C-alpha cells in the first residue's frame, strides 16, 4: 500500500506503508512441505543453541572466558534466527508477499545487529585465543571476570547502537517505490528506493561496514598471525593443542565471512549472472547456516563441552529412571558417585 505525498514539486514521492518482496515465487502446494522443512530446521537451531547455553551455564567447570564468549555467540544465533525464521515461515504460507514498513525496519535492526555482534564476538574470541596461546602465564591475570563481562557487554552494545543509528537514518527517507527484490528486508534495498539525497546513508553504511566487519576481521588476522608465529617455534604438543582449540573458531569465521561477503556484494551490486534460486539461497546463508553450524561444530569438536553434555545426559536418562525403580538408599549412593565424577573439572586448553 502506498500513499501519495502532497508536497509541491515532489508528487513522485510516496509514503510507503508496505513493502513488496518480489524474490518469492509460486510453488503451489509444495509450500506446505517447504514450511515443514524450514520449521524443523528452525526448531533444530533453537534446540541445539539452547542445549549448549544450558550446558555452559550449569557446569561450573565451563565458567571460563572461552566458554562464556561461546555462550554469548549461541545467544546471538538465537537472536539472528528469530529475526528471520518466523518472518520466513509466514511468507512461505502467504499468497501476498508484503511486509509493513515498521516490521521491515524491525527486521533490518535484528539482521544487521546479529551480523555485527557475530563478527565482533568472533574477534573477541580470537583475542582470547591469542592471549591463551601467546601469553599462557598471564592468561588468568589478563582475562579477568570483569574484563570478560566488559568485552561481552561491548560486543552487544556497540552493534546495537550502530544499527539503531542506521535504521534512524533510513526510516525517514521519502521513497519512490515499495518493491524489494529479496526474500527479507535489507537496508540498502530501501535506500535505493529513495527519491531524496542519500549521501549520508551511503557514507554511514560504508563506514559501518568497515568498522563492524572489516576492522574485526583485521584483528582476527593479526591475532592468528601471532598464534602461527608461536606455533612454528613451539613443541609438537603445543601445536596440537593450538590446532584443537583454534580449528572450530577458524571454521566459524570462514563460514560466516563467506555468507556476509555474498550478502554485501548482492546488496551493493547487480549480480544478474547468478541464477535467482542460487542468489536466494546464498543471501540467506549467513542467517540460516551459521546458527546451526556453530553449535554443531563447537558441541562436537570441543572435548570440554562434549564431555559436559554426555555427563548431563547420563544423569538425566539413566539415573532419573533409577530414582523411580531402585531403593532410595541405593540411588542416593549412585547419585553421589556420579556427582563426584561430574564435578571434576573438564580439561580446558588455554
**342 in a domain, yes or no?**
no
pLDDT tens-digit map of 36-78: 999 999 999 999 999 999 999 988 888 999 999 999 999 999 9
Local structure of 184: helix, strand or coil: coil
Res 14: pLDDT: 62
HSE-up (13 A, CA, CB side) for residue 80: 29
Res 28: pLDDT: 83
Cell of 237: 604438543
Cell of 346: 573438564
Mean pLDDT, residues 98-104 taken together: 93
**156 in a domain, yes or no?**
yes
pLDDT band at 102 (very low <50, low <70, confident <90, very high): very high
Q: Domain total for the chain?
A: 1
Cell of 293: 553450524
Mean pLDDT of the chain: 82
**39 in a domain, yes or no?**
yes
pLDDT band at 121 (very low <50, low <70, confident <90, very high): very high
% of the chain exceeding 90 in pLDDT: 45
Question: The domain containing residue 250 runs over which residues?
Answer: 2-6+17-301
Q: Kind and range of the H or E element at 99? A: strand 98-100
Mean pLDDT, residues 255-271 taken together: 77
**350 in a domain, yes or no?**
no
C-alpha–C-alpha distance, residues 118 and 247, integer Å:
17
Res 231: pLDDT: 83
pLDDT tens-digit map of 289-335: 999 999 988 887 776 777 776 766 655 555 555 444 555 444 444 44
Q: Kind and range of the H or E element at 132? A: helix 101-134
Res 130: pLDDT: 92
For the ranges 50-64, 102-116, 164-178, 264-278, the lowest mean pLDDT is seen at 264-278
**283 in a domain, yes or no?**
yes
Q: How many residues does the chain have?
A: 350
Residue linked to cell 580449528: 247
**339 in a domain, yes or no?**
no
Res 105: pLDDT: 95
Res 343: pLDDT: 42
pLDDT band at 12 (very low <50, low <70, confident <90, very high): low
Tell which wins on pLDDT, 225 or 8: 225
Mean pLDDT, residues 244-249 taken together: 83
Regarding pTM above 0.75, the answer is: yes
CA angle 271, 168, 80 (to 5 degrees): 60
**197 in a domain, yes or no?**
yes
pLDDT band at 342 (very low <50, low <70, confident <90, very high): very low
pLDDT band at 2 (very low <50, low <70, confident <90, very high): very low
CATH code of the domain containing 220: 1.20.1070.10
**340 in a domain, yes or no?**
no
Res 344: pLDDT: 45
Mean pLDDT, residues 104-124 taken together: 95
Tell which wins on pLDDT, 216 or 316: 216
C-alpha–C-alpha distance, residues 142 and 131, integer Å:
8
Res 26: pLDDT: 81
Amino acid at each position: 500500500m502506498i500513499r501519495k505525498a502532497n508536497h509541491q514539486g515532489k508528487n513522485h514521492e510516496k509514503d510507503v506503508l508496505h513493502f513488496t518482496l518480489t524474490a518469492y515465487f509460486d510453488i503451489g502446494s509444495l509450500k506446505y512441505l517447504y514450511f515443514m522443512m524450514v520449521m524443523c530446521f528452525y526448531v533444530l537451531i533453537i534446540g541445539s543453541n539452547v542445549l549448549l547455553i544450558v550446558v555452559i551455564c550449569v557446569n561450573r567447570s565451563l565458567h571460563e572466558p572461552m566458554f562464556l564468549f561461546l555462550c554469548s555467540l549461541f545467544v546471538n544465533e538465537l537472536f539472528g534466527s528469530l529475526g528471520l525464521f518466523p518472518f520466513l515461515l509466514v511468507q512461505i504460507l502467504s499468497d501476498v508477499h508484503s511486509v509493513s514498513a515498521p516490521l521491515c525496519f524491525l527486521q533490518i535492526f535484528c539482521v544487521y545487529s546479529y551480523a555485527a555482534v557475530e563478527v565482533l564476538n568472533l574477534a573477541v574470541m580470537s583475542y582470547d585465543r591469542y592471549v591463551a596461546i601467546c601469553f599462557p602465564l598471564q592468561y588468568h591475570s589478563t582475562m579477568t571476570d570483569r574484563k570478560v563481562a566488559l568485552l561481552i557487554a561491548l560486543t552487544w552494545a556497540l552493534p546495537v547502537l550502530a544499527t539503531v543509528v542506521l535504521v534512524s537514518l533510513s526510516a525517514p527517507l521519502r521513497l519512490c517505490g515499495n518493491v524489494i527484490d529479496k526474500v527479507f528486508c535489507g537496508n540498502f534495498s530501501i535506500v535505493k528506493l529513495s527519491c531524496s539525497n542519500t549521501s549520508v546513508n551511503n557514507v554511514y553504511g560504508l563506514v559501518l561496514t568497515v568498522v563492524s566487519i572489516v576492522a574485526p576481521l583485521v584483528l582476527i588476522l593479526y591475532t592468528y598471525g601471532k598464534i602461527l608465529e608461536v606455533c612454528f617455534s613451539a613443541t609438537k604438543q603445543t601445536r596440537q593443542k593450538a590446532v584443537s582449540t583454534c580449528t572450530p573458531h577458524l571454521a566459524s569465521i570462514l563460514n560466516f565471512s563467506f555468507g556476509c561477503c555474498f550478502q554485501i556484494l548482492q546488496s551493493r551490486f547487480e549480480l544478474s549472472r547468478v541464477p535467482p534460486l542460487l542468489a536466494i539461497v546464498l543471501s540467506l546463508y549467513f542467517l540460516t547456516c551459521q546458527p546451526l553450524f556453530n553449535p554443531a561444530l563447537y558441541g562436537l569438536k570441543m572435548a570440554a563441552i562434549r564431555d559436559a553434555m554426555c555427563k548431563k545426559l547420563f544423569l538425566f536418562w539413566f539415573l532419573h529412571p533409577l530414582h523411580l525403580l531402585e531403593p532410595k538408599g541405593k540411588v542416593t549412593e549412585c547419585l553421589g558417585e556420579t556427582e563426584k565424577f561430574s564435578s571434576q573439572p573438564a580439561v580446558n586448553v588455554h
